[in-house]
Each structure stands twice: as C-alpha cells, then as structure tokens.
Amino acid sequence: MPVIFRYGVSFQDLSEAISSVYLSALSERLEQQGRPLTESRLGQLTGISKGEVQTLQATRGSREQQRANAAKRTEQLSQLLSFWHDNPRFSTPYGAPLELSLKPEGTFRTFDQLILESGVTLDRESAIRHLVDARCIEVHGAHFIRCVNRSLISANADVTQIHYIGRSSAALNTTLVHNFMRDKSEDAFFERTLISDFPLSEMGKSQLQFQLKLEGADFINELDKWVSGKESEFSDKNGNRFGVTMFLFDGGKAQATPVYEHS
C-alpha cells in the first residue's frame, strides 16, 4: 500500500488491476481444464458484467506488452552488468569491472564494445540512462563510465521501479505457493530464513547488513558464474528461467510468547 499511495494509484485503478489479474488467472484455469471459455461464462463465474469482462480483456494485451518490454529491458541490463563483471575482457582478475571509455581511445575498452559483445539489443543512450537511474554507473563527462553497483534497482519514481517491486514480490510468492501447494512428487524450492534471536540495535542492524553484503554478494556472484558456464549443458528452449534472491527484511518488534487458555 505505501507504493500504491506514493504513485497516486486510485482505488478504482487498484480494483481494476486486481479484477484483471483474477480474470486472467481464472481464464487460464478454465483452459487447462478444457472447459468452454466465453465472456458470458467468465462474467457468471466472477460476478463481473460481460461489458466489464470485454473491457478488461481489451486492455490486458497492451498492459502485458508494457510488462514484457520492462522485463526485457531489466533482463538485458542485468545481462550487461553480469558480462561487465564476469568477462575477463571487461573486468580485472579479481572480478572488478573496468572503467570503460565513451569513445575509442588507444587500447581502452569502450562501452559500445561492452554492449556489442554482451549480446544485448539496447541502444547506447537507453542503456546509459537506465543504468544511471538505477545508480549502477557513474558517467564522468564525455570520457568514461565507471560501474559502482551490480544490483539493478531503479531509484526513480517511475514504472521501472514499480515493475521491479512487482517482479521481486512475484518471485517470493511463487516460491511460497510452490512449496505449500506442490505434489509430493515435486521438489520444494530452496527456502531458508534467518531472524535474529533478540532485538538488534542500529549498530547491530548495520553490521548484519554489512555481513550480508560481504558474504551474500560473493555467493550470488559465484552462483551467477556457475550458471553462466552451464548454458551448453543445461539450456532448454522449452524450459523456464530460475533465479535466486537474497535480501534483508525487517521482522518488526519482538513479541512476547503468546499464552493460550484452554476452555
């Protein structure tokens, strides 16, 4: 809700978005069950009028295209950052990304070379703009670019940030739903949680954050390298993409152990 309020989303817009998601999920479920799918039937099952069903379905296509464009851009920028850090032509032996020139200059690597060799299709201006917005790079005049952050999180109050929040929340929810609702024959997705045994001071929280950045970032980077090196062995055009996320969260105030009375 804080995000909804921040971007001025009205109750009507929020209600319409939820209705659209519910309608889409129900449509997919009916199709999987081989049941007839008509606007009238969807209206009867959801309590939404046929006209509203038509309106929601008509606008969903454009919204899905917008989400697909945002997802593709995020994926390509992440790919660019990973290539910058992991490819020896653009990083030091210790995994630090090289500073890249904005124009050909001697033997210096250029940002244009990074875009070309990483295989992304973003144009130079768009890539720089989005990486600056996400505070991943610093542009020093018209001379060179320095990478300062591998994590792609937009700092601007725009649709990119909303997309990031939605994508990250969906990733967590997908894992939880899979683990709770999976068949016994399916493997559970890896899931571990740490909550401090006692309330932490500001210094304690800062030190926990520091330790997570120190060890967690190294783990994710090594895992990223491992996955990238397995493409020829594990790639399947009919498969799904999988990922790993690590984050610190606020568990709220410590609560006293509840006492239950038996009647």
Q: What is the pLDDT along the chain (263 residues), one digit of tens a residue?
A: 888 888 788 898 888 888 888 888 888 888 888 876 777 777 777 777 777 777 777 777 777 777 778 778 888 998 899 899 989 899 888 778 999 999 888 888 999 999 999 989 888 998 998 898 888 999 988 789 999 988 776 555 466 677 778 888 888 999 999 999 998 889 999 988 888 888 999 999 999 999 998 898 889 888 988 998 888 899 998 998 898 988 888 888 766 544 434 33
Can you give the length of the chain in residues?
263
Tokens of 208: 């926990």
Residues 18, 94, single domain; the answer is no
Q: What is the dihedral of CA 137, 73, 156, 219, to 10 degrees?
A: -60
60 domain-assigned: no
> Are residues 177 and 76 part of one domain?
yes
Q: Is residue 250 part of a domain?
A: no
Domain shared by 114 and 214, yes or no:
no
In a domain, 205, yes or no: yes
Would you say residue 131 lies in a domain?
Answer: yes
Structure tokens at 250: 């606020």
88-91 — which CB contacts under 8 Å span 24+ positions? 89/117, 90/114, 90/117
Q: Are residues 82 and 172 in the same domain?
A: yes
Q: Residue 136 falls within a domain, yes or no?
A: yes
Which 8-state DSSP code applies to residue 156? S
Q: What is the structure's pLDDT at 189?
A: 93
Select from 134, 165, 191 the last residue of a domain: 191
Q: What per-residue confidence (pLDDT) applies to 155?
A: 54
Residues 207, 103 share a domain: no
Three-state helix/strand/coil letters over 201-237: CHHHHHHHHHHHHHHHHHHHHHHHHHHHCCHHHHCCC
Question: What is residue 66's predicted lDDT score, i.e. its pLDDT?
Answer: 76
**One domain for residues 91 and 43:** no
Using the 3D structure, point to which of 191, 206, 221 is the last residue of a domain: 191
Domain co-membership, 186 together with 111: yes
- Using the 3D structure, point to which of 165, 191, 217 is the last residue of a domain: 191
One domain, residues 180 and 136: yes
Query: Please, how many CA atoms are within 13 Å of residue 157, restricted to the half-sphere of its CB?
Result: 7
- Is residue 24 domain-shared with residue 79, that is, in the same domain? no
User: What pLDDT is attached to residue 153?
Assistant: 66
Is 149 domain-assigned? yes
Q: Quick check: is 126 in a domain?
A: yes
114 lies in the same domain as 23: no
Q: How many independent structural domains does the chain possess?
A: 3
Task: State residue 30's pLDDT score.
Answer: 81
pLDDT (0 to 100) of residue 255: 62
Q: What is the pLDDT of residue 263?
A: 31
Cα–Cα distance between 194 and 196 in angstroms, integer? 7
Is 92 within a domain? yes
72 and 171, same domain (yes or no): yes
Is residue 128 located within the same domain as residue 90? Answer: yes
At 100 the pLDDT is 93
Domain of 42, in residue numbers: 1-48
